Structure 1
Amino acid sequence: MTEQTTHIDAGQSKILNLDADDQGNFIAFTDNKTVVTNDHNLKIEIDLRFPIIRRLDNETFFIADSRTEKDNNGYISKFSGQLVKSFLAGDGIEDIIVHRNKIIITYFDEGVYGGDGPNGDGLAVFDFEGQQEFGVNSSAGDMVIADCYCICKHGTNKVLFYAYTDLKVFELNLDTFKFESFETPNDFSGTSAISSTVDKIIFHSSYNDKRSFFSWDRNKKEVIKFGDYSPGLTGINNGKFLIYGDSGYTIINPTE
């Protein structure tokens, strides 16, 4: 297992939310309402109780409040400071990833079973204008997601997510919006983080083991348990994971 830690100079403020990749690119939001990236430092005037921030492209970013009472809680802004769009991103946001020019938002159970909105879909896909293009539960007919535990990018045009109540891994194609589920081993039941490589899916934590990694080779139908790391990881790309603190972040590359 290897780790790479990066310190972020945010002055006296603390990081409230952060996203990063394994190439050294990051975007963070601090408790004094400042957006910090590798080359931007921008103060914004948006009230957010539980912020989640993601970069959209070189010019724009997306920030949302995880909880809302039917008010707009998603904001697309330029790094110049201009607010481009606000929209209802849904209540009970669990995670957000940006892939294939899409904003993919997942929700936990309080959102799914809460008020009206995209949160009822369990997983919703938006374009960069804030228009919802797809929702899992409304497209499936019967509810598939009661609580989306974790999600990650998968290849050039797909995402993988792990959801309750079936406790299965699902694959969603962002071009066609077709999704399928896979019979999933119980070894990592209740996992809280997921990442993928070319031939394997890596998980961290389970209901019964909060610290181990699990490697699942779907073709060989084989699960290998390995490694040890504290809870709170988020899966990113290339089988790697992210964890952040008040003043920086660490990329973890687990190896079997």
Structure 2
Amino acid sequence: MQILKLTLILIILVSCQNKENKKAENSEMVFGTKSFKVQPIINLSEKLESEDEIISVSVDKNGINALIIHSALQYRTENGMFAVIKSDKPKDYTFIRFDLKGNEIFRTLIKDEYYNFHNVNFLPAKEILLICGRSRYKNENEIDKNARIYNLKGELLRDFIAGDGIQDVQIDNDGNIWTSYFDEGIFGNYGWNQPIGTSGLICWNKDGQKIWEFEPIDGLDHMADCYAMNIDSDNNIWFYYYTEFPLVKLDNSKQIKFWNTNIGGSSSLNIFDNKVLMADGYDGNNFILFEIKGNKLKKTKKIKFINEENQELNKRNYITSFGLNIGFLEENKIYLTNMNEIK
């Protein structure tokens, strides 16, 4: 009798295991990888002279911004990191604005600038925002004002201190400036004992006055490093951060919702309706498409983007892109698609 019971238990366990295996197989079949071909819309090589270098590219709601430096001398430290805040000699930059089809709208020459910039953006008031990701604090009278705003003639209109360790910059529909911070900007470096970026995410108005900063609600940790940020077409702010890596939504009334992602180390974030596209964590090269279903974030498929030569456009090529727009930079070519194209 005892042997019969053990045999029945074994049969049940094997049957359950087979069901789980079949469920896993079906899950793998559903959660497959889909490839999408993306065409280049701009070849920046046509805009470059021999000593020019592309410093930053961003895609906003209505256009594409490119910043070109005309001499990269003293721009980087010997190990290639963006650590030099200012160079000893002034240099010239060119800002170029394109529409989303790749047509050049205008270009602006910014002359005799000492700052080394890492982020380029365009404000709704037709002003150019350039931000150096680093800022040194020497004393209360000597702080690098690393956010600088120019008119279309290349004249400096105003500047302000945006803090050290800036990870990313986005402009919302009202023209407010959102800056996120990596760990050094949150915990302090370059003389900052009380860093501006301690919260991890700050909103500034167009004049550089702080109007909001992140405070975690119940269920959320403080930020140690903001890995990704974006703004959707309804002006909701989305962000994703270390250590627990939640996906967080801040709506227009400053109410917060969040979802567990079960993915660590993603470096990009695109939003459209209830769809979320993120880079595939620390180890993956491509992207994962999620669907928001109530309080759950469901993985639906892996996404691989390829160019006209069937080369991967992965997270290393990704450029800061607003909302549903998805931009890449590869060999001086700008590629653009959007989440409507991902079926």
**Do the structures match in fold with TM over 0.5?**
yes
Counterpart pick for 2:109 among 20, 30, 42: 42
SS in 2 for 1:112: helix
Residue 197 of structure 1, CA deviation = 1.0
Distance 2:56 2:162 in 1: 17
For residue 126 of structure 1, report the CA deviation from its aligned partner: 0.4
- 226-235 or 109-118, larger mean C-alpha shift: 226-235
Deviations 1:110-145 (A, max 9, x none): 1100123431121110011111111114x8699621
**What SS does the aligned partner of 1:208 have?**
coil
Say if 2:270 and 2:277, in contact at 8 Å, map to a contact too: yes
Q: Within 5 A, what are the aligned runs for 1:56-135?
A: 56-57=123-124, 59-70=126-137, 71-100=144-173, 101-114=175-188, 115=192, 116-135=194-213
Question: Measured at CA, do residues 77 and 155 of structure 1 come closer, stay the same or move farther in structure 2, by a change above 3 Å?
Answer: same
Instruction: Indicate the structure (1 or 2) with the bigger Cα radius of gyration.
Output: 2
Q: 1:58 Cα deviation (Å)?
A: 5.2
> Match of 1:159?
237
Superposed CA RMSD in Å reads 2.4
**1:27 maps to 2:105:** no
Q: Which moved more, 1:235-244 or 1:212-221?
A: 235-244
Measure, in 2, the Cα distance between the counterparts of 1:154 and 1:218: 14
Matches within 5 A, 1:215-254: 215-219=289-293, 221=296, 222-228=298-304, 229-232=313-316, 233-234=318-319, 236-245=321-330, 247-253=332-338
Q: Aligned partners of 1:226 and 1:133: how far apart in 2?
A: 37
Task: Quote the offset at 1:152 in angstroms.
Answer: 1.0
Q: Provide the C-alpha distance between the structure 2 equivalents of 1:21 and 1:76, rounded to a whole number of angstroms.
A: 17
* Cα distance in 1 between the residues matched to 2:206 and 2:197: 18
Question: Residue 261 of structure 2 corresponds to which residue in structure 1?
Answer: 185
Deviations 1:34-64 (CA, angstroms, capped at 9, x unpaired): 2222312323332233421100025201101
Please say if residues 216 and 223 of structure 1, whose CA atoms lie closer than 8 Å, have aligned partners that are also in contact: yes
- Say if 1:47 and 1:243 are closer, same or farther in 2 by CA, change over 3 A: farther
Deviation track 1:177-208 (CA, whole Å, cap 9, x = no partner) reads x242423131x322110101112111122123
Contact 1:16 1:246 in 2 (8 A): no
Partner of 1:208: 283
Q: State the distance in 1 between where 2:286 and 2:187 align.
A: 31
- Does structure 2 retain, via aligned residues, the 8 Å contact 1:22–1:237? yes
Q: Residue 269 of structure 2 contacts residue 278 of structure 2 at CA under 8 Å; is this kept in 1?
A: yes
Identity %: 21
- What is the distance in 2 between the residues matched to 1:55 and 1:91? 21
CA–CA separation in structure 2 for the residues paired with 1:198 and 1:240: 13
Count of matched residue pairs: 250
Higher helix proportion (structure 1 or 2): 2
Verify the 8 A CA contact 2:60 2:322 in the aligned structure 1: yes
Deviation at 1:21, TM superposition (A): 4.3
Alignment match of 2:47 (pick from 10, 13, 16): 10
SS of 2:197's equivalent? helix
Q: Which residue of 2 aligns with 1:53?
A: 120
| 3-state SS, counterpart of residue 119 of structure 1 | coil
Preserved CA contact (<8 Å) 1:144 1:166: no
* Unaligned 5+ runs, structure 2: 1-35, 71-92, 98-103, 138-143, 305-312
CA contact under 8 A between 1:212 and 1:225: conserved in structure 2? Answer: no
* Structure 1 unmatched ranges of 5 or more: none
Structure 2: how far apart are the matches of 1:140 and 1:90? 24
